[in-house]
Amino acid sequence: MDPIRIAEAREKDLPVILDMILGLAEYEKLTHIVTATEDSLRDTLFGGKPAAEVLLAYWEDQPAGFALHFPNYSSFLAQPGIFLEDLFVKPHLRGRGIGMALLGRLAAIAKERGCGHMEWGVLDWNEPSIRFYKNLGAEPMDEWTKYRLDGEALNRLARRSSGSA
């Protein structure tokens, strides 16, 4: 029997999801920006309009990793896609095929949904992940720079468009 099991997360899994998010933030040295709580995750993942979905990986029935993803769209392909926001495997369980199992299930979901691509980002210092992704056949999109607008900059821009339709 395969020790790896992949399952779609349910509301009862909120403590596990938050634990995975905190583990990822620690690995990426970003714990100082985490504001997620079980309540905020409940609202955004399992509320009336879920913003994302989560796959949980189990190793011998113990939580081992997760993949948080949401739909995106390619106008050039005229096809939906999947954006992988987070992929994390607990450090003591790495190298056992858990990340591969999560990505494999996500690729299967992409195909089931008629998606033409999957995309994600990786920190430039994360060499183990970069090697892993390249070994899958993933191509870095070096000619693209990812931008983010949040916090006060997002508020400022939103105020600029107030009153326009």
Cα separation, 36 vs 39, whole angstroms? 8
Is 58 one of the catalytic residues? no
User: Which pair of tokens denotes residue 26?
Assistant: 């620690």
Quick count: other Cβ atoms within 10 Å of Cβ 93?
Answer: 19
Q: Judging by DSSP bridges, how do beta strands 62-74 and 79-89 pair with one another?
A: antiparallel
In order, the DSSP letters of 3-62 are SEEEEE--GGGHHHHHHHHHHHHHHTT-GGG----HHHHHHHHHSSS---EEEEEEETTE
Of 27, 58, 73, 133, which one is the catalytic site residue?
Answer: 133
Residue (of 122, 117, 9) closest to 68 by Cα position? 9
Sign of the alpha-carbon torsion through 77, 82, 86, 91: negative
Which residues are catalytic, by number?
133
